[in-house]
Amino acid sequence: MDQAEQLQQMIDSAKRIVAFTGAGISTESGIPDFRSPGGIWTRYKPIYFDDFMSSDEMRREAWRRKFATDETMLKAEPNAGHRALAKLVEQGRMSAIITQNVDGLHQRSGVPDSKVIELHGNSTYATCLDCGHRHELDPIRRAFLGSGKLPLCVKCEGIVKTATISFGQAMPEIQMARAQDETMACDLFIVLGSSLVVYPAAGFPRIAKR
Ligand code: ZN
């Protein structure tokens, strides 16, 4: 039996599967692994959350970078890996997809929001840091590229930021707790495209095995 058949057998005999995905599943969709050489992290000095909060200039820089690199994200389509997972979710065999990715491709492949646990947030929309209200990127892009206007919340005038988790920003508690619950409840845990080096995310396979 080859490895693919072995995996198929494990999937067939599992009752509750959880997938854990990292950058590697999206490289085939044209999204570069931002930790790899030439990736975003090696070209730009990261903007820490506290700096984003305290400085207009840093916020402006963050949005400038966002819209300069956004095209790759907008053009990306889900690939066979995303679709295979979506099928398992649809069949009711996979209870959740825990992901380190911020590209939204699991949802785009047909997986409902409620089944995707995004540990590092999502870069395809923005949220108000005060009230959590969701803001779409299109109007923000138009205003920012047009007149350099920084986005403020339409509801509470709070600071609006892409819905990703920045350096120095706390991991999202609800998502972490959900990821842990799903991991403990599954009988098959599949890791795809993650080198599992970043904690706390890297601890999940161990929790599953235990
Ligand atoms: Zn708000």
Single-letter code of the amino acid located at 136: E
Is the confidence at residue 134, as pLDDT, over 70? Answer: yes
pLDDT of the residue at 108: 96
pLDDT of the residue at 72: 82
pLDDT above 70 covers what percent of the chain?
Answer: 95
pLDDT of the residue at 74: 82
Q: Give the environment of ion ligand 1: residues with CB less than 5 A.
A: 128, 130-131, 133, 153, 155-156, 158
How far does the centroid of ligand 1 lie from the alpha carbon of residue 49, in Å? 17
Give, in order, the Cα–Cα distances in Å from 70 to each of 29, 31, 78, 161: 14, 10, 16, 14
pLDDT of the residue at 172: 87
How far does the centroid of ligand 1 lie from the alpha carbon of residue 41, in Å? 29
How far does the centroid of ligand 1 lie from the alpha carbon of residue 175, in Å? 21
pLDDT class of 96 with cuts at 50, 70, 90: very high
pLDDT of the residue at 39: 56
Of residues 9 and 194, the one with the higher pLDDT is: 9
Phi, psi (rounded to 5 degrees) for 112: -65, 150
How far does the centroid of ligand 1 lie from the alpha carbon of residue 98, in Å? 27
pLDDT of the residue at 145: 94
Judged by DSSP in three states, 121 sits in strand
Out of 82, 120, 133, 135, which one is annotated catalytic? 120
Q: How far apart are CA 200 and CA 63, in angstroms?
A: 27
Judged by DSSP in three states, 79 sits in coil
Span 32-71, pLDDT tens digits:
776 555 555 556 788 999 999 999 999 999 999 999 888 8
Judged by DSSP in three states, 33 sits in coil
How far does the centroid of ligand 1 lie from the alpha carbon of residue 140, in Å? 14
pLDDT of the residue at 73: 82
How far does the centroid of ligand 1 lie from the alpha carbon of residue 53, in Å? 14
Q: What angle do CA 154, 155, 159 make, to 5 degrees?
A: 70
> Of the given ranges (11-25, 136-150, 194-208), which has the lowest mean pLDDT?
194-208
106: annotated active-site residue:
no
